[in-house]
Amino acid sequence: MISLLYYNFVMNEMYIMGLSIHSIGAVALLSVIFLNVLILFRIKDIHYYRRMMSIFLMPLTSMVLGGMLFTGVIMMAAKHLDFTVPNIAMIIISIILIILEVKRSKTLKYLNSKKENAFKIYKPFGLKLLYIEFIIVTLISLWMWLI
């Protein structure tokens, strides 16, 4: 009987710790999106931005988003794959974020850098996608933190 109570206590503590780590991941994801916005605002040269995206920004964004997905999967497993409305919303938002990041990086990859206005055309598009990502992550985070 005591071991069962101890097991429930430990599992509850692990679940609370997992939620804390998932929340920290949400703040990290918001920070990375904000960093992407700042860098896109400041950079004037397309070649430098492409290099920074391929070496630093895209791996960082992917790593943080992957960490969020990993902790989310672990939390779903801890809840015995209980598909609630918030869990389904987070799965859909994760897919949307992945699609937006792929769209943003593919557009940059296939952008003709020899055209004079290429980066001026890309900047508003990239910023729009980053703003959408920031708003989506902020809204879902606020929803989850206030539940």
Flag the least confident range among 34-38, 54-58, 90-94, 118-122. Answer: 118-122
Confidence at residue 80, expressed as pLDDT on a 0 to 100 scale = 77
DSSP the chain: -HHHHHHHHHHHHHHHHHHHHHHHHHHHHHHHHHHHHHHHHH---HHHHHHHIIIIIHHHHHHHHHHHHHHHHHHHHHTTS---HHHHHHHHHHHHHHHHHHHHHHHHHT--TTSTTHHHHHHHHHHHHHHHHHHHHHHHHHHHHH-
Q: State residue 100's pLDDT score.
A: 96
pLDDT for residue 1 is more than 70? no
Q: Domain range holding 21?
A: 2-146
Total structural domains in the chain? 1
Where does the pLDDT of residue 145 fall: very low under 50, low under 70, confident under 90, or very high at 90 and above? confident
pLDDT score for 26: 93
